[in-house]
Amino acid sequence: MELRKFIKQLGRYQKGTTNETEKAIIEAWYDSYEAGGEKQALSASELEHVRNAMHTKISGSINKPAPAIWFNYRIAASILLLCCSAALVYFLLKPAAVAPETYTTLRTLSGEIRKLTLPDSSVIWLNAQSSIRIPSSFDKTIRQVYLDEGEAFFEVKHNTRKPFRVITAPLQVQVLGTSFNINAYHSLPHVKITVVTGKVGVSKGTKLLSFLTPGQELSYLTDKGTFEQKKVDASQSQSWKDGDTYLNRVKFEELSLVFKNLYGLTLKAGSKRVHDYLFTLRIKRNTSATETLKLISAIHNAHFRKEGTNVIIY
């Protein structure tokens, strides 16, 4: 029914001049409003009609002379009708409240590795000294998690209708279903994404940097805003979750980070010469800290000494 005709019927209903059919329609409308029926949004032109009708009713009720008793009754009825109409318009147009996404933050300590199973049955392995936020459910169009710090290996369940996205400053990694590793420790100058299976899209903001396929690694330099891509042994990038950490010509800072993750001890370079060394080795989780230190020192014929929780390489 057109809004103009419906408003006229409301006016006749107020005056008591509606026929039985119109009366039934009006009363059915009131009943549906009280029952909280489905809300429909009004168009701009319909809202304008409602405003004009309200203005006309109010002006007519105030300016038109009438006997005192009947005058008060008509004003009260008009106000009641207008209040009901205004309330209806308000609730029809009021936007539905959107429940905010709730996330749970999970953290690991030195020497700790955790396996997480997500609501969609995807699996995340979280390396030591890492922090990740995961939602309580995946009800939205994108399955999104936040790797705030550290390293994680993802085994994502395939779902073409709901892409999987990892946010890790400053990059976004998006897949449909695949397995890949992200190394994003704040103490390192780079973020590394390595693909084991499937295809991975890496972007910064709205700019797509690259699509990675199995055996490809993207290394993004956070201070320069540049990146490089190369072929690697993808199995080594995620072997840390099984107890073996492979380091290939890494700088002292990265070696120190890995050592802290495994043993809770901090490596420090005793000289600039040691600080500038590059290290290639495999560290096994079940090897003692002392044995690993002997291996590290032997690479460059260096020595080490312990000072509390610090280890000086010189």
Residue corresponding to tokens 């009901």: 84
Question: How many whole angstroms separate alpha carbon 96 and alpha carbon 104?
Answer: 25
Pairing of strands 143-155, 164-168: parallel
Helices (H), the chain: 3-15, 20-34, 44-63, 68-93, 234-237, 252-263, 272-275, 289-299
The conformational region for residue 240 under phi > 0 = left, psi -120 to 50 = alpha, else beta, is alpha
Question: How many whole angstroms separate alpha carbon 14 and alpha carbon 115?
Answer: 68
**In this structure, what token pair is assigned to residue 70?**
């009947």
Per-residue DSSP letter, 100: P
Q: pLDDT (tens digit, 0 to 9) for every residue of the chain, 314 residues total?
A: 555 676 777 777 777 787 766 676 666 666 555 444 444 555 666 656 655 665 565 555 555 554 544 445 566 556 666 665 555 545 445 554 556 778 999 999 999 999 999 999 999 999 999 999 999 899 889 999 999 999 999 999 999 999 999 999 999 999 999 999 999 999 999 999 999 999 999 999 999 999 999 999 999 999 999 999 999 999 999 999 999 999 999 999 999 999 999 999 999 999 999 999 999 999 999 999 999 999 999 999 999 999 999 999 99
Given a contact cutoff of 8 angstroms between Cβ atoms, the answer to whether 264 and 274 are in contact is no
Q: Is the C-alpha dihedral spanning 236, 237, 243, 245 positive or negative?
A: positive
pLDDT at position 241: 96
Q: Which domains does the chain have, with CATH numbers?
A: 3-93 (no CATH), 103-237 (2.60.120.1440), 243-313 (3.55.50.30)
Question: How many whole angstroms separate alpha carbon 243 and alpha carbon 222?
Answer: 28
pLDDT at position 37: 44
pLDDT at position 71: 46
- 106 by DSSP, 3-state: which? strand
Closest CA to 164 of 199, 129, 204: 199
In 10 A of CB 280, how many CB atoms?
Answer: 10
Identity at 271, one-letter amino acid code: S
Q: Which residues contact 99 (CB under 8 A, 6 or more apart)?
A: none
- 270 by DSSP, 3-state: which? coil
Phi, psi of 102 (to 5 degrees): -105, 135
